[in-house]
Structure 1
Amino acid sequence: MDDVGLSTVLLAMLAGAIRVSTPFLFVSLGECLTEKSGRINLGLEGTMVFGAMAGYAISYETGNPWLGVLVAGFSGTLFGALHGVICGLRLVNDIAIGIALMLFGRGLAFFFGKDYIQPVAPRLPAIEFGWWASDPNLAKALEINPLFLIGIALAIAMWWAFRSTRVGLIVRTTGDSAPAALALGIDVKLVRLLATAAGGFLAGVGGAFLSLFYPGSWTEGLSSGQGLMAVALVIFARWNPLACFGAALLFGAAGALGPALQSIGITRGYHFFNAAPYAMTLVIMILSISPKRSLKGAPGELSITK
């Protein structure tokens, strides 16, 4: 590979890392918040798909993509709240409920989204950070959607909140020990309900990014399992919001590897490189359950730790 080809691949991976990582970032932050409260929500895949459909439909009907993002977030809040309410009942397993809601969300999205597969909805705008670049490829790579910047700000804010605020302390206490939280007068069910609902909001926004910016259309196979991979990403990040951002970039770069190589004419093994994020998920899960590092730093109330 010559220098020109290498630079093209690196630029394509830079652009892909930014674009592909954005939904990973929002969903992983949502799952991080949920798990910090002591609950797992595997239903974020369905939440994400439904958010993508809802955001696209609202953008098409109103002509306002940002309104679509907001509606996608609120739809995710409803799914998260539903998960929280059901898991608040006795003898209910949060993992099983999450899988059920994942299927429910995807089914609803496919049912209501059939009429929006062909129509073209207004897309979210991009900020052109590469206006100064003479290389059009570099300028294109530096077109960044505002949601990516918002995601970075959210990661920093969540990290600070968990460390330095009363709300963060309440969430962490609830996730680490429900008896200790109850002894302090904390309503454990309410905290987990609110955390799960807020996590659903972020997952819905991540779905809206998929349909309204990159790849920028609504299809039934839009998510490709990103909601489920976000769970592995949170484990890999050790429940640290800032590390979630770094892990999201890593997953995004892995997802951009196949298209980047194809851009310089390397097509042999293209599907193998497209599978890089899934292979990375498998490796992360294997490493995460090793005897020495098994779930280190996990909130004590998570069902996977018991």
Structure 2
Amino acid sequence: MDSIGMVAVALLAGALRVSTPFLFVSLGECLTEKSGRINLGNEGALVLGAMTAYAASYESGSPWIGVLAACAAGGVLGLLHGVVCSLARVNDIAMGIAVMLAGLGCAFFFGKPYIQPSAPQLPVMPLGFWSEQPQIRSALDVSPLFFFGLAVAALMAWSFRNTRLGLTVRIVGDSEDAARALGLRINLVRILSTVLGSALAGIGGSFLSLSYPGSWNEQLSSGQGLVAVALVVFARWDPIHCVLAALLFGAAGALGPSLQVIGITQGYYLFYAAPYVLTLLIMVLTVAPGRALRGMPGELSLTR
């Protein structure tokens, strides 16, 4: 295989891996914001989910128990955020930052004993079975969590358009007056949406510690939970667009390692900043004055 082909395969494999945590956190934030609430605490849910998954996998010997534990840990943080934000005069942004710091603090405190031990890792799906080259077969080993994320995105998109539950979330997020007129329980809908959204972020964290990079340490996330908030804006609050945006961010994150495959090492550290440069560029292009944010739920507010 020539150099261009090697870079293409490495970029594809890297995109599938790197995009997975972005995918889960962005889907979780999309669900939460569809109900009219912003949750910056998903960065804390991601890191706490990673630690909890690794600890549960190590103690139980089953990585799938680790994934379930991460889901539960993220859900607990989401419940905290959802309940407190339902109180009068509580700001979503301020509370989200507090929840993020709480999640990070808990993960760092309780995760110290698990930095050195080796926990069982999630199995992989060998998409490179067609190749005789070991490097390609290894590169295209994809976690089943990626395909689970695709299924979640499809289910969310279908639910928002075709189910009573999805319509309820959309009404609550678009107009509180309309929701009250229909007798909907606004706080309950937002709390449940926040819990489920943070639970998805926790699953994204389990991918980091049990699949790629497959370890637990305090610098595991690199701000992916916060980047995912910008990703949701870029995706216009559409779950399918979240998948495409996550793959784009994943490809940007895989650019540096992909270039190393063909021997480009000088200045490759700059390429690791690609996802953050892309985030800044996207925010400038999509939130510039005079540009309407199509798809934004009507009740989303920085001051509520």
TM-score in same-fold range (> 0.5): yes
Q: Which residue of 2 aligns with 1:158?
A: 156
State which of 218, 221, 227 in structure 2 corresponds to 1:220.
218
User: Residue type matched to 2:247 in 1?
Assistant: L
* Percent identity of equivalent pairs: 63
- Contact 1:295/1:305, CA 8 A, preserved across alignment: no
Aligned to 2:75: 77
Give the aligned partner of residue 140 of structure 2.
Answer: 142
Match for residue 275 of structure 2?
277
TM-score scaled by structure 2? 0.98
Paired residues in the alignment total 304
Q: How does 1:98-109 map to 2 (within 5 A)?
A: 98-109=96-107
- The aligned residue for residue 3 of structure 2 is 5
- CA offsets 1:51-103 (integer angstroms, 9 cap, x no match): 00000000011110000000000110000010000000000000110011111
Residue 168 of structure 1, CA deviation: 0.6
| Aligned with 2:244 (options 246, 269, 286) | 246
2:26/2:231 contact within 8 Å kept: yes
AA aligned opposite 2:274: A
Given that 1:83 and 1:101 are in contact with CA atoms closer than 8 Å, whether structure 2 keeps it comes out as yes
Contact 2:91 2:303 (8 Å CA) reproduced: no
Give the deviation of 1:212 after TM superposition: 0.2
Whether the aligned pair in 2 keeps the contact of 1:11 and 1:137 (CA below 8 Å) is no
Aligned Cα RMSD in Å? Answer: 1.2
Cα deviation, 1:108-127, whole Å, max 9, x if unaligned, reads 10000000001110000001
Report the CA distance between 1:305 and its aligned residue: 8.7
Please say if residues 92 and 302 of structure 2, whose CA atoms lie closer than 8 Å, have aligned partners that are also in contact: no
3-state secondary structure, aligned to 1:224: coil
Gap regions ≥5 residues in structure 2:
none
Structure 2 counterpart of 1:167? 165
State the shift of 1:296 in Å: 2.3
Do the aligned partners of 2:31 and 2:197 also contact (CA within 8 Å) in 1?
A: yes
**1:261 equivalent in structure 2:** 259
Q: Mean Cα displacement is larger for which, 287-296 or 240-249? A: 287-296
- Superposed CA offset, 1:251-277 (max 9, x none): 000000011112222111211100000
**Residue 219 of structure 1: SS of its match in structure 2?**
coil
1:303 aligned counterpart, secondary structure: coil
Alignment CA distance shift 1:104-1:305 (3 Å): closer
Greater shift, 130-139 or 85-94, is seen at: 130-139
Within 2, Cα distance between the matches of 1:127 and 1:172?
35
Which residue identity is paired with 1:123?
Answer: Q
Q: Distance in 1 between matches of 2:71 and 2:25?
A: 11
TM-score by length of 1: 0.97
Map 1:103-118 → 2, pairs under 5 A = 103-118=101-116
* Gaps in structure 1 of 5+ consecutive residues: none
